[in-house]
Structure 1
Amino acid sequence: MKTLPALGDDARVRLSRQGGFAAIHALSRPREIEFAQCDISQRTRICSVLEGCLTLDSTVSGRGDQRFYQIEVNYRSGGQEDRMVLKVPEDQAPGELVHLWDTGQLL
């Protein structure tokens, strides 16, 4: 199982909804969260949502007409840029993740 790396000021989270019959970019409505613009409380809540998604990550997401949420976490590790990608099936996505994608804000 993947583990969430330590995320500092330089971390960015990009959240989008993918899949379905028609891959229309406008419907994916990507959200970008820069940790440098978040206070410690917001970072903690975002990390909590991400940790909850680690067990839901699925490589088979998006087959057929199934939609899924794609979470890209960009961060620095050992002085180098690194990236983690999670794919969470829409029907298994936690409410907090759906709300974050819908509004760009946490509950």
Structure 2
Amino acid sequence: MKSLPPLGDDAVVRLSRQGGVAAIHTLTRPREIAFAQCNIDQRTRICSVLEGCLAIEDPASGRGDQRFYEIEVCYRIGEQDDRMVMKVPEDRAPGELVHLWDKGEVL
């Protein structure tokens, strides 16, 4: 299983909802959360949500018009930029992830 890399001030989390019968950009409602703008409690809760998603992520999500949440985590290790992408089926998504995508805020 994948593990979450250390996320510092430079980390950015991008969330969107994908899939379905018709791909309509306005329905994806992409969100971007910059760790530099979050306090330590918010970062801890976001990391907790991301770690929970690692256990249920499925790279095959989106087949058969299934909706899924795409989570892109952009981070830096030393001098190198890196990223991790997860696909979480909508029907298995934790409530905290749905809230984060829907409201753009941490519970």
What TM-score does the superposition give when structure 1 sets the normalisation length? Answer: 0.98
Query: Number of aligned pairs?
Result: 107
Q: Find the residue that maps to 2:56 and give its secondary structure.
A: coil
Q: Find the residue that maps to 2:10 and give its secondary structure.
A: coil
Structure with higher helix content? 2
Which consecutive residues of structure 2, in runs of 5 or more, have no partner in the other structure? none
Which consecutive residues of structure 1, in runs of 5 or more, have no partner in the other structure? none
What TM-score does the superposition give when structure 2 sets the normalisation length? Answer: 0.98
Q: Find the residue that maps to 2:33 and give its secondary structure.
A: strand
Map 1:90-105 → 2, pairs under 5 A: 90-105=90-105
Task: Give me the CA root mean square deviation.
Answer: 0.6
Partner AA of 1:22 in structure 2: A
Compute the displacement of 1:78 (Å): 2.6
User: Stretches of 4+ moved more than 6 A in 1?
Assistant: none
Q: Deviations over 1:74-101 (max 9, x none)?
A: 0001310000000000000000000111
Structure 1 equivalent of residue 27 of structure 2:
27
State percent identity of aligned pairs. Answer: 77
Structure 2 equivalent of residue 60 of structure 1:
60
